[in-house]
């Protein structure tokens, strides 16, 4: 069993598991942090961005000034943003049989894999994952395609040139594999390969293994996966949460008794408690708006935003903010808000019961009804008519490199009354803000990451007790900035095996058993014999039939009927006749009694030697040696067949036959 690790990002995993005869890809996350190296794509012409000076080498050589621009001491690539794909060279991706998706954030690289690698398999995911995943992809494509950029910089990627660039460009990895965003056509084609599954549904893969999604409690439709055969069980835990937010709670019990537990997608901010962060978010929002400032919340169109809106629903009246408009701007804003209300069976119990009342499960429906929350596909159109300040705007993309957020950063960045509050943990907020410097607006970092923290992981592992844990190397040591925090790492016994990008891991267990079915008529013919209390044995003569990874013992073909000679040969006649087998022997030989028996039968001068595996009985006179071991007995004598047979019969007296 092997694990191929194609992504270095612990929360955007992409691993391939080879298990029995199947090749299973676990998630295909897209690392978008690469976009932080690019200049933002403004929706409206930005004089500031277009007038940024080109970057030149120390010696004044300015051949890169078209591709690289400098802003407040940082250098950015002036080109269409590109993404860092999962490793494609480590394993032939056309051999991947299935892809299992655990949540909508972990499928963003799907079009790259399904459309460009010769992939012919099936993708499995839950319905909300697919629908919201589609929204995220649609938003991404829309953000990038609606601001066409003529230029595509590639010179800087030249290894010799890259070395000369300042950090972080100099240290960017695998830049040659960075790719532009996919198209909507590719998205549609990729999504058409997905087969929908429900929690606890058992899916047979070629009869060899069975995969089952389990609720992971992190997002709508998010799942952990169980991959098991009859005797082995691998659990894939990716992006799980034990907090009570909107999704169905995590199913922990089904993870028990795993041989291997692959653990990914833990919280990216282990030191921040989501509750505290929500409090921080609300307080800062209220303070800013009270002072007449605007609040910008860069976010994804689905996920934490639902919880934030719910918190605000409860908070705004108490904080005296009910007249403040809340805007949600995204090409998919409408669909996201509506989808969230229809996936009732994927929601937590509280929200499910609301549906039966019937009430919308999320209170943002009421915010929309009362006009407190308004949503728009983009800043163009209706929004510009309705826009009122001070206000709160939720919009993407959290990287601040594309999407409507770029416009608001340019618009509000100059006033210290305004605040940008970062709630998504995927991007470093300082890096995200770099191309907007100098910035007067206040920046608040309240990352809300509801995924498991290390304390929860340690409780989880204690409860489900896997034999082995495999996780990204980042989880096996404290974060570099807090090297003393021994509590911020996975702590388990035996220690977790770690992996990093482009590494192949042999998983530490061997398959020992295979299940074989026995046909009823064959079973009927068996005559078990009790050889020990509670243990019966029977000999079986059968044909082992193997098809689709299933093994069946079938009755042997009947001995061929005496043929009249004219009949045509049947296929079965090719099967050789089963020989009449000698009886099988069982039992052990008590050496002392055996020696006595030998003596009774006239052998003398018998010596017994103990060996590591049993005994050797020496018949010195007859120059014969009987070697008795646990599972074999040898009679070694020189060409004296009569003696051998005599001795053999004496040995057989002590054994049972069947």
Task: Name the residues that contact another protein, by CB under 8 A.
Answer: 271-273, 276-280, 282-284, 286-287, 289-292, 311, 314-315, 317-324, 390, 446, 455, 482, 484-487
Is the CB of 251 or the CB of 280 nearer to another protein? 280
**Cα–Cα distance for residue pair 134/126, rounded to 1 Å:** 12
Is the CB of 484 or the CB of 579 nearer to another protein? 484
**Cα–Cα distance for residue pair 543/527, rounded to 1 Å:** 18
Answer whether 441's CB lies under 8 Å from 467's CB. no
- Give me the numbers of helices (H) and strands (E) for the chain, helices first please: 17, 33
**Cα–Cα distance for residue pair 378/142, rounded to 1 Å:** 10
Answer whether 241's CB lies under 8 Å from 260's CB. no
Least Å distance, CB 271 to another protein, is 6
The 3-class SS string of 312-343 reads HHHHHHHCCCCCCCEEEECCCHHHHHHHHHHC
Q: Which of 152, 5, 76 is nearest to 401 (CA)?
A: 76
Looking up tokens 């004296």 gives: 640
Is the CB of 214 or the CB of 277 nearer to another protein? 277
Least Å distance, CB 275 to another protein, is 8
Helix 127-145 crosses helix 333-342 at what angle (to 10 degrees)? 180
Is the CB of 42 or the CB of 325 nearer to another protein? 325
> In Å, how far from its chain's centre is CA 50?
41
Q: How far is CA 242 from CA 249, 349, 487, in A?
A: 7, 14, 18
**Cα–Cα distance for residue pair 127/130, rounded to 1 Å:** 5
Answer whether 23's CB lies under 8 Å from 7's CB. no
Answer whether 296's CB lies under 8 Å from 379's CB. no
Q: Is the Cα dihedral 371, 364, 135, 341 positive or negative?
A: negative
Is the CB of 38 or the CB of 362 nearer to another protein? 362
Least Å distance, CB 140 to another protein, is 30
Helix, strand or coil, per DSSP, at residue 256 = coil
**Cα–Cα distance for residue pair 125/617, rounded to 1 Å:** 67
Phi and psi (nearest 5°) for 70?
Answer: -110, 135
The pair of structure tokens assigned to 333 is: 């804003």
Least Å distance, CB 480 to another protein, is 13
The pair of structure tokens assigned to 355 is: 């549906």
Answer whether 598's CB lies under 8 Å from 624's CB. no
Answer whether 345's CB lies under 8 Å from 126's CB. no
Least Å distance, CB 313 to another protein, is 11
**Cα–Cα distance for residue pair 96/16, rounded to 1 Å:** 8
Q: How many CA atoms lie within 13 A of 225 on its CB side?
A: 25
Q: Which of 197, 240, 137, 311 is nearest to 456 (CA)?
A: 240
Answer whether 112's CB lies under 8 Å from 123's CB. no
Answer whether 485's CB lies under 8 Å from 479's CB. yes
The pair of structure tokens assigned to 331 is: 């090409």
The long-range contacts involving 502-506, CB below 8 angstroms and separated by at least 24 positions, are: 502/5, 502/6, 502/8, 502/87, 502/90, 503/5, 504/2, 504/3, 504/4, 504/5, 504/90, 505/2, 505/3, 505/4, 505/5, 505/470, 506/1, 506/2
Is the CB of 219 or the CB of 488 nearer to another protein? 488
Looking up tokens 């996201």 gives: 336
């Amino acid at each position: 069993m092997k694990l191929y690790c194609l992504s270095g990002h612990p929360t955007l995993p992409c691993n391939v598991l080879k298990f029995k005869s199947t090749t299973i890809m676990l998630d295909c996350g897209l690392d978008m942090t690469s976009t932080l190296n690019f200049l933002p794509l403004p929706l409206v012409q930005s004089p500031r961005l277009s007038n940024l000076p080109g970057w030149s080498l120390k010696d004044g050589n300015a051949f890169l000034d078209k591709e690289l621009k400098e802003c407040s001491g940082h250098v950015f690539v002036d080109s269409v943003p590109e993404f860092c794909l999962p490793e494609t060279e480590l394993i032939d991706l056309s051999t991947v049989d299935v892809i299992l998706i655990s949540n909508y954030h972990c499928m963003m690289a799907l079009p790259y894999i399904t459309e460009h690698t010769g992939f012919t398999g099936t993708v499995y995911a839950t319905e909300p994952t697919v629908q919201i995943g589609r929204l995220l992809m649609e938003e991404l494509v829309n953000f990038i395609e609606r601001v066409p950029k003529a230029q595509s910089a590639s010179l800087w990627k030249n290894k010799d040139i890259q070395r000369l660039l300042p950090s972080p460009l100099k240290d960017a990895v695998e830049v040659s594999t960075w790719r532009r965003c996919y198209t909507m056509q590719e998205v549609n084609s990729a999504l058409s390969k997905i087969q929908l599954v429900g929690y606890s549904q058992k899916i047979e893969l070629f009869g060899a293994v069975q995969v089952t999604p389990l609720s992971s409690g992190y997002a709508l439709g998010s799942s952990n996966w169980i991959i098991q055969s009859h005797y082995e069980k691998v659990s894939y835990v990716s992006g799980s949460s034990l907090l009570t937010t909107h999704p169905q709670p995590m199913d922990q019990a089904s993870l028990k008794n795993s041989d291997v537990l692959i653990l990914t997608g833990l919280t990216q901010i282990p030191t921040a408690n989501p509750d505290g962060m929500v409090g921080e978010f609300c307080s800062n929002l209220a303070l800013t708006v009270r002072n007449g400032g605007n609040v910008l919340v860069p976010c994804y169109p689905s996920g934490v935003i639902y919880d934030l809106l719910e918190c605000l629903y409860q908070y705004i009246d108490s904080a005296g903010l009910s007249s403040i408009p809340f805007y949600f701007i995204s090409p998919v804003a409408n669909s996201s808000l509506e989808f969230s209300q229809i996936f009732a069976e994927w929601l937590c119990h509280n929200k499910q019961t609301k549906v039966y009342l019937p009430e919308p499960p999320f209170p943002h429906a009421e915010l929309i009804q009362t006009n407190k929350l308004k949503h728009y596909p983009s800043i163009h159109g209706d929004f510009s008519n309705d826009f009122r300040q001070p206000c709160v705007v939720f919009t993407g993309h959290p990287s601040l490199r594309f999407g409507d957020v770029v416009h608001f950063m340019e618009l509000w960045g100059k006033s210290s009354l305004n605040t940008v509050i970062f709630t998504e943990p995927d991007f470093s907020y300082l890096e995200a803000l770099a191309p907007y410097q100098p910035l007067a607006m206040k920046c608040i970092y309240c990352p809300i990451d509801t995924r498991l923290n290390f304390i929860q992981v340690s409780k989880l592992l204690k409860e489900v007790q896997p034999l082995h844990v495999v996780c990204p190397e980042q989880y096996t040591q404290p974060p570099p900035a807090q090297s003393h925090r021994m509590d911020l790492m996975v702590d388990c016994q035996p220690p977790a095996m770690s992996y990093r990008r482009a590494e192949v891991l042999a998983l530490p267990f061997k398959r020992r058993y295979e299940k074989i079915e026995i046909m009823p008529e064959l079973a009927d013919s068996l005559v078990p014999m009790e050889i020990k209390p509670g243990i019966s044995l029977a000999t079986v003569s059968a044909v082992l039939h193997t098809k689709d990874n299933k093994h069946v013992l079938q009755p042997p073909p009947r001995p061929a009927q005496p043929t009249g000679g004219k009949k045509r040969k049947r296929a079965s006649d090719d099967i050789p006749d089963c020989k009449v087998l000698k009886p099988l022997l069982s039992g052990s030989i008590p050496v002392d009694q055996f020696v006595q028996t030998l003596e009774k039968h006239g052998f003398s001068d018998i010596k017994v030697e103990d060996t590591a595996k049993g005994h050797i009985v020496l018949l010195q006179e007859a120059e014969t040696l009987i070697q008795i071991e646990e599972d074999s007995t040898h009679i070694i004598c020189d060409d004296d067949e009569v003696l051998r047979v005599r001795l053999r019969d004496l040995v057989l007296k002590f054994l049972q036959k069947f």
